[in-house]
Each structure stands twice: as structure tokens, then as C-alpha cells.
Amino acid sequence: SLSLSLSLSLSLSLSLSLFLADGYKWDPQTQHCKDINECDTIPDACKGEMKCFNHYGGYLCLPRSASVIPAPEPVSTPEVSEPYNPCPLGYEPQGDSCVDVDECERLDHDCQPSQQCINTLGAYTCQCPDGYRKVGTECIDIDECRYRYCQHRCVNVPGSFSCQCEPGFQLAGNNRSCIDVNECEMGAPCSQRCYNTYGTFLCRCDQGYELGPDGFVCNDIDECSYSSYLCQYQCVNEPGKFSCVCPEGYQLLGTRLCQDINECETGEHQCTETQTCVNIHGRYQCVETNRCQDPYVQVSDNRCVCPVNKPACRDLPFSIVHRYMSITSERSVPSDIFQIQATSVSPGAYNTFRIRSGDENGDFYIRQINNISAMLVLSRAVSGPREYTLDLEMVSVNPLLSYQNNYQTSSALRLSIYVGPYAF
């Protein structure tokens, strides 16, 4: 009796071990098979970047981005003996025939809550939601990004995916392709000009401006700071440009040069009827029409004569002609500035020219050209405003008239030279 009992116990133990499926273990408390969580019991069950997902009777190694809808643990119910059914599995008798059983309608199926039960003839199937595929009894997320549906970037989400575009692009109507965004029409931060390019945009500036370090703002270029030769007198910077201005008494010639205003011609002077207007650089001068001083008498405009019958005229030039001229400051030297020309010469006369007075500092000298003309030369650079009054004398010696004791005569040209305040 003892050996029979031992043999029966051994036989029962062997029978139980034979009927346990892989991935399950016998639970003596519930007297049922219980799933083994291999993800906990097997060290490094999945290698590399794969993640372990336990499911009934085994486990899955899936990408870490995968999503799994777990199935609830099966609930064991006590077995109830079914009445005799002469029809095939999935059918039931109805009168003299067998009709399909709709397991989905009767909820007589083992589909997971996330799955849809679809009745078929004699059976049913469990269908996963869109974006999932069925592996065993589980619904595993499909990684659509592996199939390169998106033109730029793909983002996988549980059951679906979304496409994203790089900066400067936006999704097209198919939600997969990327099209260029025209930032210039969408309020690009360019302060002046915007040019759309593929995937981005460029800011450009109008003439007279330059692009700032941020690439958006246009800053005014101070052209006046680049060169002192842009304007003859003074450069004035303005937004996007520059302009040249001239001092009082001058006007712009073109856009950069300064030209003296001839107030005597424009009538912009205040000389009286007894005065003559003389235009000089940057201004004008009113001089008396009759500048003859005793013992000289006026014989014509700008010409004075000293009568020979006056004793005071003995050592003075016979005639004085008044002339006026204006020169610029800092003129290069030596520089020819005025030519003296004899108007009448006696036969046999020999003429010499000299500066009689007015050149105390030696700023000028006379270079004789021939017997009847000479050139006044500026020998040193001078700055204005300044005024010189030079008496240029022509001395004539005529040996043929020596018997009359008046073989030497002279005439003078009184030249008023006005030096302007500028080099133009």
C-alpha cells in the first residue's frame, strides 16, 4: 500500500510537469499556471537599444520608442460542462441546421479591451487599432518613421506619427512634404529690404546704409567720417546720404565744389552810386569811384594823372591806374598772378618794372617778360582774409629825349589784392 501511494504521487508530479508550458509556472495556491516575467528573471533579456516587454508565455524585445497595449491577466473561471452540440465549433444548432455564432455580440471572445472583435464564419478575429500591429495577443505600436514618410523630420507617437519641418519651412497639405515659408510676407524683422530664399531670408539695406551685426537692422553710414575730400568745404551727414555745404558768400557748384557768389552781378550788395562794387572771394568790396588823391586828378575811370605843372608831381609817377583782383588762400608758389602791360611806348624808350610800395614782407616779386610787359609773382603762400595794395611802377628811360631833361618818366598801377579766407 505504501509503495502504491508513492508511485501514484510520483506519477501525479510527473504529469503536472509535463503539462506546464514554457513561460508559465505552477501556482500551488491558485492551482493554476502563472505567467513568468522573463524581463525580471532573465538578466539582460534584450540587448543593445532594445527594451524588454513581458507578455503571456514569453517576452518581446522592441525598440525603446515602441508602445505596447498590455493585455490583462486571464481570469480563470471554473469549468462548466457544455451541453452536447452536434454542430462544428463556432456554430450552434437552429432547428435542423447549424448557424454561425456571433462571438463578438455575445462577448464570448478573448479580444483585449483595446482590440476590436470581428466576427467570421465559425470564428472571430481580434483587430488592433490603426497604428498598431498584433504580436501574439498584444498590440505593438508601428514605428511609421522607419518608412520615411516625412520629408524632413518624423516623430513617432503611440498609434500614429507626425511630420515636422526644419526652420524656414512649413507642412504642405499632405502633412508630409515641407514647403518654403516666405518670411518676407510674414513680417520678417528686416528694417528695410527683405529677400526670401529657400528655407530662410536675407535682409539688405538701401544705399547709404549698412547691415548691423544682428543681420536685421540697417544703420546709417557716416560717409563724412570716411574721407575729408568728399566736400570742398564741409560735409554734412544725413540719414542714408550726405551733402556738401559752402561758407557764406559761396554757392555749390555741382554737388561738392564751392563757387564764389558774385554779389556785384547779382545785385546783392550795398554800394552807393559814388562807389564801385568789387567782387572778391566770399564777399564784395565797395570802393570810391574817384580814388585820386592830391596832387592827382581823375581823367577817366580808375585813372589819375599828376599834372607836370604842379611842383609836387616832380618825383611822382605821371599816372596811376587802379586795378583790383582776388586770390585764394594757400595758393601754390611761386605763382604768376598778374601781368603788367604797357599801353604806349615812346620810340627808343627802355622800360623797367618794379614794386614801388606795399610789399614790405617780400611776398611778391616782378619778373620782366620783355620791354613792354612784366609778371607779378606770388613768392610765398599767404592766408586770408587779407588785403594788399601794391604800387607797380614802370620806369621809362629814353636817351633820345635827354636834351629836354625829361628823358626818364614813370607810370604806376595801384593793384589792390584781396586774399580770400579759403583755398577755393
Among 132, 169, 171, 167, smallest CA distance to 150 is for 171
Q: State yes or no: pLDDT of 15 exceeds 70.
A: no
pLDDT of residue 407: 72
Q: How confident is the model at residue 78 (pLDDT cuts 50, 70, 90)?
A: low
Query: Strand, helix or coil at 327?
Result: strand
Which grid coordinates are listed for 260? 564764389
Residue of 379, 392, 249 lying closest to 317 (CA atoms):
392
Per residue in 100-117, pLDDT tens? 999 999 998 999 988 999
Does residue 126 have a pLDDT over 90? yes
pLDDT at 19 (0 to 100): 37
According to DSSP, residue 295 is labeled T
Residue 147 C-alpha cell reads as 518608412
Cell readout for 162 is 507626425
Residue 242 exposed, middle or buried by CB count within 10 Å (0-12, 13-18, 19+): buried
In whole angstroms, give the CA distance from residue 381 to residue 12.
135
The three-state secondary structure class of 6 is helix
What confidence score (pLDDT) does residue 35 get? 81
Cα(238)–Cα(230) distance, integer angstroms: 14
**Which amino acid is it at 309?**
N
What would the pLDDT profile of 388-408 be if each residue is shown by its tens digit?
Answer: 999 999 999 987 765 555 578
Q: What is the pLDDT of residue 401?
A: 66
| Distance from C-alpha of 262 to C-alpha of 231, rounded to nearest angstrom | 21
pLDDT at 12: 28
Q: What is the pTM of this model?
A: 0.58
- What does the mean pLDDT of the chain come to? 87
Q: Scan for cell 614794386, then name that residue.
A: 355
What angle (nearest 5°) sits at the alpha carbon of residue 105, between those of residues 100 and 111? Answer: 100
Nearest to 328 by CA among 231, 424, 232: 424
Which tens digits make up the pLDDT trace of 247-292?
999 999 999 999 999 999 999 999 999 999 999 999 999 999 999 9
Instruction: For residues 122-129, give the mean pLDDT.
Output: 93
Indicate if the pLDDT at residue 373 is higher than 80. Answer: yes
Q: What confidence score (pLDDT) does residue 13 get?
A: 34
d(CA 25, CA 409): 151
Query: In angstroms, rounded to a whole number, what is the distance separating the alpha carbons of residues 110 and 126?
Result: 8
Q: Are 143 and 149 in contact, with CB atoms under 8 Å apart? A: no
Residues in CB range of 144: below 8 A, 6 or more apart: 131, 154, 156, 160, 161
Q: CA-to-CA distance for 340 and 338, rounded, in angstroms? A: 7
3-state secondary structure 330-356: CCCCCEEEEEEECCCCCCCCEEEEEEE
What is the Cα–Cα distance from 341 to 358, expressed in whole angstroms?
20
**How confident is the model over 290-334, as pLDDT tens digits?**
999 999 999 998 999 999 889 999 889 999 999 999 999 999 999
The mean pLDDT of 2-17, rounded to a whole number, is 30
Alpha-carbon distance of 333 to 221, in angstroms, equals 38
Q: DSSP label at 317?
A: -
- Please give the average per-residue pLDDT across 214-218, as a whole number: 96
Do 379 and 365 form a contact (C-beta atoms < 8 A)?
A: yes
Q: How far apart are CA 216 and CA 231, in angstroms?
A: 31
For the chain, list the domains and their CATH numbers.
26-62 (no CATH), 91-139 (2.10.25), 144-180 (2.10.25.10), 183-220 (2.10.25.10), 223-260 (2.10.25), 297-419 (2.60.40.60)
Distance in angstroms (rounded) separating the CA atoms of residues 419 and 424: 11
Q: Is the pLDDT of residue 18 over 50?
A: no
Q: Can you tell me the distance from the alpha carbon of 411 to that of 394, in angstroms, rounded to the nearest whole number?
A: 6
pLDDT in the model for residue 10: 29
